[in-house]
Structure 1
Amino acid sequence: MTPPNRAALAALVAEATVDCYNDSECVTGFYTMLDEHLEVPFQTSVLGAQVTVSGIDLADEHIVVICARGRSRQRLPLLDLPLPTPPPAGAQWIEAYRHWLR
């Protein structure tokens, strides 16, 4: 999968933030799109360790992913998540969220 270009990212941002009045509502819009479109679980590497991304959540008006390794669970800001190659289905919404925050 090739990363979305600026026009595609702008279209995704517009879709996620339609009818939003403030940043908090925009984050919720992105969370909704990720919840609907991001295919979890998927494997990735965080700080050299293989983890399973098992879900997403909202925490203090930020989107976080839930990473698991064995019995350990850790919430990680979505912005800090390295994507695997190839990325999971729906990863374009992660790129759109990152683009919106810039």
Structure 2
Amino acid sequence: MVDTIGPDSATVNLGLLAHGGRIAAIAGRPDLTTVPPFGMAPSVHEIALGAAYTVGDEHSRAQLATMLTELLSLTAEGRLDPMLSRTVSLNEVPSALVELSGRGVRGKIVYVRD
């Protein structure tokens, strides 16, 4: 699972994992204190894309480039599931945002330009 929302969302998603499940947090780490010790054995990964550039480490930047290349390959091969719920038009965006704020949406709602 990849969480792109924030720490609160990552914490909620952490609770949705099966035993040994994995979560990658892009916008903030989940609160690991919500997981009982030795209960579900989650694998938590922090994705700090900007850190490779702010640290100035050439090796880290090269690794980031490799990861991006692999991610693009998986995307091109159709091997990634973005969990798309549905697409909406510009006129539907406000109601979709209200729906998303209720946290009842399973998957992503994506605006597609007309």
Q: TM-score range by the shorter chain?
A: under 0.3
TM-score, normalised via structure 1 length: 0.26
Question: Which has the larger share of strand?
Answer: 1
Bigger Rg, which one: 2
TM-score, normalised via structure 2 length: 0.24
